[in-house]
Structure 1
């Protein structure tokens, strides 16, 4: 008798996951998708708190097939995820962290979204429980979009629905040499290779749980690991995309999310040796990937800090970081009859510092929040054209000749 292929394999990497694992597995068992259409592959990564035993108990009573693999501790989430992915047989794969849980209709809704639109990746709305997840991508449900036309680049965690054929075709696996940011690398590659991405924003599919005991599968490590993560993601983007606007719009993510926090309030607390080391680690990344097109996509304070870093001026950088940390009111300088706005962060028009005025000029999106600013006709036209393009992209069906048309 031939066993039907499951629609989705839920891969769970678990390490010291009790008691959170109880609710995690209960949420899998409570899925409205037919249990016959789900398989679970759970990998116990050397737990000593009863995680492995509870997984085996669940496998014995669960309504869907469950495979439990127990192995020595690998030190991070990549190994267990790769083992689980290697055992998966579903049309889709969903990576569920053992601390977290699913909404009851999550798998049914995400599988339906992928099938109906022929998309390779589906993002289900995430809600935080004692944690704050990224939120800018949940403004509306998008049946079909891509990484350039939406804010999905700001959610690169692994908790997405992936078409397994996409992962298999490209031999995709999590990088086990990275201690942090391995999911960002994997997810960004999937976005770039995907034949369309869907965003399911009108139903909470995933509950991201903050553990009260402070333990997590991911070992966050020190600042050097953050630079490793930024370097890996920037290298991936450079390898997969030629220089130009598409690469630059995605480079914003590692600069803003991974690199810039190293030069925030913590930078003031670092000792001189750590500050020097951070600047050294950042230099090759700034030299290779920082440019005016990336810079104009950032707010003035973000752009200014990175500009000073690229210019090798950590002395001026300290002044700006201190100003931002203090949350001081920023002087606004309006010129050209209110159509040009500069923000007077430290060293603005200081001839000794020599920072170009362009670094302090607010782009329309930021400038609109300041009284007296008047948006020019060109900026209004571009904003309206951008909104129209995003609406058209979010409502169109699968491309002709794509999976939806061929089904």
Structure 2
């Protein structure tokens, strides 16, 4: 007799996960969803710290069906997840990291949301424990949305509820050639292929735990892996979304979250060879995908750094990064007659640098204060103040 199909398969890839795995498994056992509706597939990826034994002990006492698979270490999270996905029988799958934990009602709420709305992906609110977690997408619960109409592009970790039929229909799996960012690629593809995405913001479904031993995957690995991740995500977006504003809105994510941090203040501390290598790795990405449609969506200091990377101007980039590192607030210059404002980062209207004024125009994401305004030409103070207030009024309205 064939066992009834579970509602959700919880896939846990585990490597050297002790002692965090204990609370992770306790959170699975504490789920309010009927245990008969849950199956757990745990893949021990060659651990030597007792992780495998802990999984076997859990399988003996857990109220739900548990399958434990032991394999040689694969060197990354993709292979364990793929192995678990191959064995999954549930209508939905949920990828749970072995050092994190679930809220008690997480699976019940997410499965109910997917069933009620007919959506293919459900995001449950995530909070960080001893580490930061994404925040911009949790403003309110969204029964049905998509990657273009929300902030979900800024949470591309794998810890979501996915309709398994969506994954099997498109032959989706985690890219085992990537050692970081593999979840971003998988999740973005799911967003793009999904018939609707749901966001649960009124209940904490997932606790993202920071490890004290520094072994969390996002803290390790060569900088070259970040460029591999950015390239893969950009290629995926370009493949699935035609050129235009919708593509640009998604391309912001790999440029802002994956590529830009490689050209932050730490860039100055790298030796000459590393700095040159980073610029070399960035060049084909900038040549292929960077343009004004993306640049105009970023803050001035973000846009300015990436423009300089695109031009290979390490000399000017160093000045901008030194300014940013000093936590200086740029002076806001403005044209009194037009009310157009500019942020005075290094090399603004520097004739020798020859950078376009448009690179320095702030977006509505940036806060301007009247005290910071200075005229670009000599004008009466009242006229300057009136123009500055007009700009602020327009930006507040926007």
Secondary structure of the equivalent of 1:12? strand
Q: What is the CA distance between 1:334 and its match in structure 2?
A: 2.5
Tell whether the 8 Å contact from 2:368 to 2:392 is kept in structure 1 after alignment.
no
Is the alpha carbon distance of 1:344 and 1:380 closer, same or farther for their aligned partners in structure 2, counting shifts above 3 Å? closer
The answer to whether the 8 Å contact 2:15/2:47 transfers is: yes
When residues 379 and 329 of structure 1 are mapped into structure 2, their CA distance, relative to the original with a 3 A threshold, is closer
- Partners of 2:283 and 2:253 in 1: CA distance: 17
Render the CA deviation track for 1:358-387: whole Å, top value 9, x for unaligned.
000012232566663535998788x5xxxx
Distance 1:149 1:368 in 2: 27
- Does the residue aligned with 2:144 lie in a helix, a strand or coil? strand
Partner residue in 1 for 2:115:
115
Query: Where do residues 73-88 of structure 1 align in structure 2 (5 Å cutoff)?
Result: 73-88=73-88
Rate the CA distance shift 1:73–1:201 in 2: closer, same or farther, 3 A.
Answer: same
For 2:390, the equivalent position in structure 1 comes to 374
1:326 matches 2:342: no
- 2:124 match: 124
Between 1 and 2, higher relative CO (CA 8 Å, sep ≥ 6) is seen in 1
In structure 1, how many angstroms separate the alpha carbons of the residues matched to 2:168 and 2:19?
Answer: 33
Residue 12 of structure 2 is matched in structure 1 by 12
**2:266 maps to which residue?**
266
Partner of 2:284: 284
Deviations along 1:293-314, one digit per CA (max 9) or x if unpaired, are 1001000000000011112211
Task: Give the structure 1 partner of residue 43 of structure 2.
Answer: 43
Are 1:179 and 1:220, in contact at CA under 8 Å, matched by a contact in 2? Answer: no
Contact preservation (8 Å) 1:340, 1:373: no
Q: Residue 385 of structure 2 corresponds to which residue in structure 1?
A: none
Alignment pair present for 1:222 and 2:218: no
Q: How does 1:191-340 map to 2 (within 5 A)?
A: 191-216=191-216, 220-336=220-336, 339-340=339-340
Instruction: Point out where structure 2 has 5 or more consecutive residues left out of the alignment.
Output: 372-387
SS of 1:176's partner is: coil
Q: How big is the shift at 1:351?
A: 1.0
Counterpart CA distance in 2 for 1:370 and 1:268 is: 33
Identify the residue that residue 62 of structure 1 maps to in structure 2: 62
> What CA deviation, in whole Å up to 9, does each residue of 1:193-214 have, x standing for no partner?
0111111011000000011122
Give the secondary structure class of the aligned counterpart of 1:39.
strand
Q: SS of 2:390's equivalent? A: coil
Match of 2:380 in 1: none
Q: Which residue of 2 aligns with 1:404?
A: none
1:238: Cα distance to partner? 1.1
CA distance in structure 2 between the aligned counterparts of 1:293 and 1:217, rounded to whole angstroms: 32
- Inter-partner Cα distance in structure 1 for 2:204 and 2:307: 39
Contact 1:330/1:345, CA 8 A, preserved across alignment? yes
Q: Partner of 1:180 in structure 2?
A: 180
Partner of 1:395: none
Superposition TM-score, scaled by structure 1 size: 0.91
Runs of 4 or more consecutive aligned structure 1 residues displaced over 6 Å after TM superposition: 376-381
Within 2, Cα distance between the matches of 1:47 and 1:303?
A: 43
- Gaps of at least 5 residues in structure 1 are 384-407
Alpha-carbon distance between aligned partners in 1 of 2:225 and 2:389, rounded to the nearest angstrom: 41
How high is the TM-score relative to the length of structure 2? 0.93
Query: Counterparts of 1:166 and 1:263 in 2: how far apart (Å)?
Result: 37
How do 1:77-156 and structure 2 match up within 5 A?
77-156=77-156
Aligned length: 382
> What SS class does the counterpart of residue 214 from structure 1 fall into?
coil
Contact 2:332 2:368 in 1 (8 A): no
Counterpart Cα distance in 2 of 1:287 and 1:174: 27
Paired with 1:137 and 1:322, the residues of 2 have a C-alpha distance of 32
Give the secondary structure class of the aligned counterpart of 1:275: helix
The whole-number CA distance in structure 2 between the counterparts of 1:310 and 1:218 is 26
Aligned partners of 1:11 and 1:40 also within 8 Å: yes
By how many angstroms is 1:216 displaced?
Answer: 2.8
- 1:329: how far off? 1.9
Structure 2 CA distance for partners of 1:222 and 1:373, relative to 1, 3 Å:
farther
2:53 counterpart SS class: helix
Contact 1:100/1:208 (8 A) holds in 2:
yes
| Aligned-residue RMSD, C-alpha | 1.7
CA distance in 2, matches of 1:377, 1:131: 37
Is 1:72 the counterpart of 2:72? The answer is yes
Question: Could you tell me how far apart the structure 2 residues matched to 1:198 and 1:369 are?
Answer: 38
**Structure 1 pair 373/146, CA: closer, same or farther in 2 (3 Å)?**
farther
Distance 1:202 1:311, change over 3 A: same
**Partner deviation per Cα, 1:157-206 (whole Å, 9 max, x = no partner):** 00000000000000000000001100000000001001111110110000
